[in-house]
Structure 1
């Protein structure tokens, strides 16, 4: 069953993570990303538009306004600084980072996040490969979904969305950020991609839907 969500920040982050700075993100993409119903997306889009945080274009989708981008960058930055700290210093696994980071990102102390960022050595990316945005750099670098590559291509995995199912699957096959996959088959009928990892010969598969939330350059 689809869940509903009233958390505006979740939607803003989803728009950002789907390159909703330069491009319009469809309501369908947001529904898939957040695992909510299309009706829930429509309702929240109306609220965010009323707040001046997004621009909405019928039959096209949404993208962040300047005000929405400023708000979202702050949320994303805090979240990813926390994730990096938990992963690098406290040995949390990739799929255990999200919920705790969601709670800690709301600490109302910018000095805390600034000091933590400096303590970590001012990292450019979080454990999932997303950039840790600054005032000067706030656009994701890895925005090309693996799903857009073809048979014979060998993209390097540079970013993955914070999704429990895909993170668990990647962990089960030993796929991580920085690995190169070699696409051996694209099965359009079954909507699957077959691939091997680095120099290994074992073949794995991933659905087109999953391949939309793993990114390369």
Structure 2
């Protein structure tokens, strides 16, 4: 069941994570990403536009304004610094990172996040492969979904969205960020991508929908 709503920050982060800095992100993409109804997306898009945080183009979608990018990059940065700390220093699993990071990202102390970032060695990416934004680097590098690759190609997993279902599935088949998959078949009828992992011969599959939230270059 779709959620009836989601908060502004969730929308801003969803736009950012779907490359909504350089490209317009469709309402359908936001609906699927957030698990909310199309009506809820339309309502929130209007609010974000009125706040000057997004640019809206009819029948195309939305992208962040400079003000929207500044706000969102800070939220994303804080969230991913916390995720990295929890994962690398406290041993949290990828699946368990999100909710606690969501709570801690709202700490109103920029010095805290700067010091934590330096303590971690100024990492470039979080455990999910997303960049940790800085003034000089704030655009995701891995934006090509696995769904865009063809049979016979072998992309490296560079980033995965923070979605509990896909993270659980990846854990169950031991698929991790930085693994290389070899696509053995694209089954359009059943909307599945079949693949092997690294040098292993075992064949796994993901749905087209799942393949849209796992990224490479």
Does the TM-score normalized on the shorter chain lie above 0.5? Answer: yes
Query: Secondary structure in 2 aligned to 1:94?
Result: coil
Superposition pairs for residues 37-76 of structure 1, below 5 Å? 37-76=37-76
The answer for the alignment partner of 1:149 in structure 2 is 149
SS in 1 for 2:183: strand
Number of residues of Structure 1 aligned to a counterpart in Structure 2: 217
Q: Equivalent residue for 1:182? A: 182
SS at match of 1:155: coil
Structure 1 moving runs of 4+ over 3 Å: none
CA distance in 1, matches of 2:28, 2:129: 24
Correspondence 1:32-181 to 2 at 5 A: 32-181=32-181
Q: Structure 1-normalised TM-score? A: 0.99
TM-fit CA distance, 1:70: 0.3
1:53-86 residue CA offsets vs partner (Å, 9 max, x unmatched)? 0000011000000000000000000000000000
1:2 shift after superposition: 1.1
Take 1:115 and 1:4, find their aligned partners in 2: how far apart are those partners? 38
Specify the SS of the correspondent of 2:96.
Answer: helix
**Secondary structure at 1:30's aligned position in 2?**
helix
Q: Distance in 1 between matches of 2:104 and 2:131?
A: 18
Tell me the C-alpha RMSD between the 2 structures: 0.5
Structure 2: which 5+ residue stretches go unaligned? none
Q: Does the residue aligned with 1:137 lie in a helix, a strand or coil?
A: coil
Partner of 1:20: 20
In structure 1, how many angstroms separate the alpha carbons of the residues matched to 2:14 and 2:163? 11
Q: Deviations over 1:160-203 (max 9, x none)?
A: 00000000000000000010000000000111000000000000
